[in-house]
Amino acid sequence: MCASLLVVEDDDTIAEFLAENFREDGHQVTTVGTAAEAVSALRRTRSDIALIDVGLPDRSGLDLVRMIRAGEAGATALGVIVVSGRGAEQDRVRAFERGVDDYVVKPFSYTELLLRTQALAARIAGRVAAELVVGPLVIDLAARAVTIDGVLLPLPAKEYELLTALARDPHKVHMKEDLMERIWGYRNCGTRTLDSHASRLRRRLMAANGEPWVINNWSIGYSLRTVVQ
């Protein structure tokens, strides 16, 4: 199973080795050398799995894991494998307490790392929900159908994509630039198109359910109302 991988490794030799081999095995790979670059990459593009070194130059890789699991990097469902030269039991325990999915000690066998990565990708694919449910709002991802209070709500394609993006992480304020890039494929070109679609989507949901649902957060981004009276 092919996956989109983010390699967070400040050793250029190791990063290039992993990128070259993973690409040969059919995976998409992005490499970065710091935690800050990793957060930026995760906010810009979708990754399935991050392979993170603990000893990064700007902060610990475990701090990066904490940020990911806390939603501060925009990718809470991301699979995480630590690839570290620290192999003591307390290091591994600390990593799993932070929420990593697997831990590989350097020096490592690439074949083993590949198999562990593919196994994690398969587990992630298996737990991807067929539906997104936020209160009375249900999005059937396979059928691209939205119901609210059990009633089908037809939506234009872009409004459906906007609602789905918000519903995947309803507690998060999604930055307007990120939504523009995710739905329209570009960012930093003004947000009038997004604002218009969000306004129309809000009106449709209000008409169907009587609640605003789509919340504009101080002109910074949008979130989905998760508590409906």
pLDDT, tens digit (0-9, with 9 covering 90-100), for 81-138: 999 999 899 999 999 988 899 999 999 999 999 999 999 988 877 655 577 888 889 8
> Would you kindly state where each structural domain of the chain is located, as residue ranges?
4-126, 131-224
- Fold annotation for 131-224: Arc Repressor Mutant, subunit A (1.10.10)
Q: What tokens were used for 141?
A: 């991802």
- Fold annotation for 4-126: Rossmann fold (3.40.50)
Question: What distance in Å separates the CA atoms of residue 140 and residue 5, rounded to the nearest whole number?
Answer: 27
Q: Is the pLDDT of residue 228 over 50?
A: no
pLDDT, tens digit (0-9, with 9 covering 90-100), for 1-57: 678 999 999 999 999 999 999 999 999 999 999 999 999 998 887 788 999 999 999
Residue 59 has a pLDDT of: 93
